[in-house]
Amino acid sequence: MSTLTLREAPPERLDLTGLDPARLAGLSEAEAARLAVGTSRRGLTLGDCFAISLDGSDCLRILGATDRLDRVGAGLAAGRIVVEGDVGQRLGAGMRGGTLTVSGSAGPFAGTAATGGTIRIAGDAAGSAGGAVHGAAAGLDGATLVIGGSAGDRLGDRMRAGLIVAKRAGVHAGARMIAGTIVADEIGDYPGYGMRRGTLVAARHGALLPTFVETGRQDLVVLRLLAKSLQALAPEAAALLRAPLRRYSGDLATLGKGELFAPVG
């Protein structure tokens, strides 16, 4: 297992785009130390900030991470990255495969535009986790994002495909969703604002938009499939999907093919 150990809190934000096991496997430690990670005119390199130990394996550990590390795992296509600590914004942006695990919390836009693979955040995620960055066509786009703690506002904003599981989320979860699935224990007010398609499932939710209408209780086969697919990944979310659920259809202010499921009673 290759390891990058942060020596001390960096003096500026660092951009770790492309620092994945496959790329590092082709480099010596001296070559890796010369990779640029700084975001200012200071010209910081990987070796300036991290103690580097490479063994060519498909697993990379980043130790002592802080929220100044941006774009960790961005573009990851295969292999595994394990982060001990927190990370900054755009964790796993554009990721295509592999697994990315963070023991702490993540900054905004975690998983944005990620088309494959699995991202697990043990702690909290800031706003727009799985959401589109400003001006982008889509947020999460096929990957799986699991947030063990709370997600901020606009969870899955403009997500296009994939799955998000979170403990809690703030307001406007699933806003502008193009498609995909979000399952959370609790979500804030106005979920699914402007959603075109997609599925929101929440054990508890805040105020609903007037453009969501209740369609009653149906034992839909798709919920069984979702529950089965979630069983290994998030058993509590799977249990929620197996409970009797009431369905709301929306956002009827737009295409209206989205839906929100909440427990009956």
Task: Give whole-number Cα distances, 121 to 7, 8, 222, in Å.
Answer: 23, 22, 26
The β-bridge partners of 36 are 45
Please report, as a single letter, which amino acid is at residue 259: E
Give the sign of the dihedral formed by CA 209, CA 215, CA 217, CA 219.
negative
Q: Which is nearer to other proteins, 143 or 147 (CB)?
A: 143
Rounded-to-integer distance, Cα 42 and Cα 14, Å:
11
Rounded-to-integer distance, Cα 140 and Cα 92, Å:
10
Q: Which is nearer to other proteins, 8 or 219 (CB)?
A: 219
Q: Which is nearer to other proteins, 23 or 197 (CB)?
A: 197
Q: Which is nearer to other proteins, 104 or 256 (CB)?
A: 256
Before 20, cis peptide (omega within 30)? no
Question: Which tokens in the block code for residue 155?
Answer: 């969870």
Q: Which is nearer to other proteins, 1 or 137 (CB)?
A: 137
Q: How far is CA 4 from the centre of its chain?
A: 22
- Interface with other proteins (CB under 8 A): 142, 161, 179, 181, 197, 199, 218-222, 224-226, 228-229, 257
Q: Are 97 and 61 in contact (CB under 8 A)?
A: no
The candidate with the shortest Cα–Cα distance to 146, out of 133, 132, 163, 127, is 163
Residue 129 Cβ, how far from other proteins at the closest point, in Å? 20
Q: How far is CA 231 from the centre of its chain?
A: 19
Q: Which is nearer to other proteins, 54 or 245 (CB)?
A: 245
Residue 246 Cβ, how far from other proteins at the closest point, in Å? 13
Residue 226 Cβ, how far from other proteins at the closest point, in Å? 6
Residue 74 Cβ, how far from other proteins at the closest point, in Å? 23
Residue 68 Cβ, how far from other proteins at the closest point, in Å? 35
Residue 228 Cβ, how far from other proteins at the closest point, in Å? 6
Q: Which is nearer to other proteins, 42 or 224 (CB)?
A: 224
Residue 46 Cβ, how far from other proteins at the closest point, in Å? 35
Rounded-to-integer distance, Cα 95 and Cα 73, Å:
7
HSE-CB for 81 with a 13 A CA cutoff: 35
